[in-house]
Amino acid sequence: MENIKSHLYQLCLNFIETRVQTAEIALKQAREACNDDTKSSAGDKYETSREMMQQDIDRNKRLLIDAEENQKVLNSLKDTSFSETARNGSLVYTNNGNFYLSISAGQLHLAKEIFFAISAVSPIGKLLLGKKKGDQFDFNGKKYQIKEIA
């Protein structure tokens, strides 16, 4: 199980590193486009263009900050020890899917199994926190039973 968790951790880390790189590139390109924009004789058109570029820069900054926050969450999970209750860093097997409580990275495929990397603050993550083997809960009209926690 620890091997599976370490592989899932690495997949999540790769996911976040890609997001950080993408956000950094997009931010750099948006800043360069803003700096390269020269003022035309149509003042209003220029101001609208500058505002749109600034919004693009702001959006990319937020994406970068979000990705860096997710990196911090992952770093805090690197050496989590076993717990009988689901918590950040836990691998939770249920009758309706397998969940890795870490960051929201979506569906991860590993050794012919599908795992869902979810944040502890996601709706299903909140339901999983503190649960033990054998516990049940409902989510989106489905009944889940926890088969194992690693």
Calculate what percentage of the chain has a pLDDT beyond 90: 65
The span from the CA of 111 to the CA of 94, in Å, is 17
The average confidence (pLDDT) of the chain is: 88
21-79 confidence digits (pLDDT tens): 998 998 888 888 777 765 544 555 556 777 888 888 899 899 999 999 999 999 888 77
Burial 18-39 (b: 16+ CB within 10 A, else e): ebbeebeebbeebeeeeeeeee
Calculate what percentage of the chain has a pLDDT beyond 70: 91
Alpha-carbon distances, residue 94 vs 4, 58, 100, 133 (angstroms): 16, 40, 11, 9
142-149 and 91-94 beta bridge pairing:
antiparallel
Give residue limits of the domains in the chain.
2-77, 91-149
89-115 confidence digits (pLDDT tens): 999 999 999 999 999 999 999 988 999
Beta bridge mates, 12: none
Which pLDDT score, from 0 to 100, does residue 41 have?
47
> Residue 51 has which token pair?
């505002």
pTM exceeding the 0.85 threshold for the entire prediction: no
Q: Are 144 and 123 in contact (CB under 8 A)?
A: no
Can you say whether the dihedral through the CA atoms of 33, 34, 39, 41 is positive or negative? positive
Can you say whether the dihedral through the CA atoms of 4, 129, 132, 83 is positive or negative? positive
